[in-house]
Every structure is written in C-alpha cells, then in structure tokens.
Amino acid sequence: MNDSGSPTMPTKSDRPRLAVKLLDERMRDYLPDYATTGSAGMDLRALLDAPLTLEPGDCELIRTGLAIHIADPQLAGMVLPRSGLGHKHGIVLGNLVGLIDSDYQGELMISTWNRGSTSFTLEPFERLAQYVLVPVIQAELEVVDDFDSSLRGPGGFGSSGRQ
C-alpha cells in the first residue's frame, strides 16, 4: 500500500526472474508475458507444426517449446485453462490443473482435453492455457494421537447444509 491507501503497483524489475530455455527457436517470438499490468497469469501457446483437431473427448499432450526452471522451492507454477476456451469451446486440461514443481527442468506440457460436444481445431502458437506463479509453503507432518478441538471438528462435505 502507498500513502493514499491504494496498492503499490510492482514494477517489472520487482518481479522474480525465472530462467527459461527455448526448446524450439520459434518460441523466441512467442515468449509468455502478462497481457496487462494486473494479469495473474502469462498465456502459454501451443507449439504445433500444423493445426490440430481435437474431437469431443480427445485429450492430447501439447508442447509449449519452453522449459522454465523456477528453482525457488517457495514458488510453484500452475497451469490453468483459459476461461474463453473452456467455457465456449470445452477446451480444458486433461489433468484439470497442472502443478509445476520448482525443480522441474523439462518442457512445460499442456494436457489438452476437449470435454465439449463439438470438434475444435487448435492453431499453431494459439494461446492455449495460462501459467501462474504461486507461493508455496512446505510442511513437515508430525504424527499425533489427538488434535486440539476445533469448531468444525471432522464435519465436512456439506455438513453445514446448503443455505
């Protein structure tokens, strides 16, 4: 927050820097970036040599041509669907959400599932999903016999009703 109480806009130089390898030279022109200053995710593009048609129910692993090494274990990447593709065309992720470990150095892959009822043709370099960097806290599990009591206790899965 600044003095006027509004959030201070971080500048590009405040951002963590992530090492990226181009596994296909064509991706140099298509490096992911934030579309607006407030975007949470960077769009990931499909590395394809030709259009690819996904029939209803098809699920294909699509290359991005990028390897991003996050390195910091207090960060992770998440691959999320784009809302327009998911809502209008049924193009979502075969794993629903992709979780990218900070020590992963391989190619970022997008499991692309046509959960809709019509075929969809994906164009080369089309923006297919989005990559969000998130903070992570790693924990140690400590085995106990009993918990300190809580208001909820073991209640879950709708125990509080619907209204």
Ligand X SMILES: O=c1ccn([C@H]2C[C@H](O)[C@@H](COP(=O)(O)OP(=O)(O)OP(=O)(O)O)O2)c(=O)[nH]1
Q: Return residues touching ligand X (CB under 6 A).
A: 79, 95, 98-101, 104, 108-109, 111
Q: Do the annotations mark residue 149 as ligand-binding?
A: no
**Residues whose CB is less than 8 angstroms from the CB of residue 22 and which lie 6 or more positions away in sequence, other chains included:** 28, 65, 66
| Beta carbons within 10 angstroms of residue 53's beta carbon | 10
Segment (H or E) for 100: strand 98-100
Q: Which is nearer to ligand X, 55 or 101 (CB)?
A: 101
Q: Which is nearer to ligand X, 120 or 131 (CB)?
A: 131
Q: Which is nearer to ligand X, 19 or 118 (CB)?
A: 19
Taking 3-state DSSP, the helix, strand and coil percentages for the chain, each rounded to the nearest 5, stand at 10, 30, 60
Query: Per the structure block, which two tokens stand in for 72?
Result: 């910091």
* Integer angstrom CA distances of residue 110 from 43, 78, 92: 12, 11, 10
Q: Do the annotations mark residue 101 as ligand-binding?
A: yes
Q: Calculate ∠ Cα 137-98-125, nearest 5°.
A: 130
Q: Do the annotations mark residue 102 as ligand-binding?
A: no
Q: Do the annotations mark residue 57 as ligand-binding?
A: no
Q: Do the annotations mark residue 100 as ligand-binding?
A: yes
Q: Do the annotations mark residue 95 as ligand-binding?
A: yes
Q: Which is nearer to ligand X, 23 or 95 (CB)?
A: 95
In the complex, which residue's CB is closest to ligand X? 98
Q: Which is nearer to ligand X, 21 or 118 (CB)?
A: 21
Q: Are strands 127-135 and 42-45 parallel, antiparallel or unpaired?
A: antiparallel
CB of 18 to ligand X, least distance (A): 14
Q: Which residues are annotated as a binding site?
A: 82-84, 95, 99-101
Residues annotated as binding site for substrate? Answer: 82-84, 95, 99-101
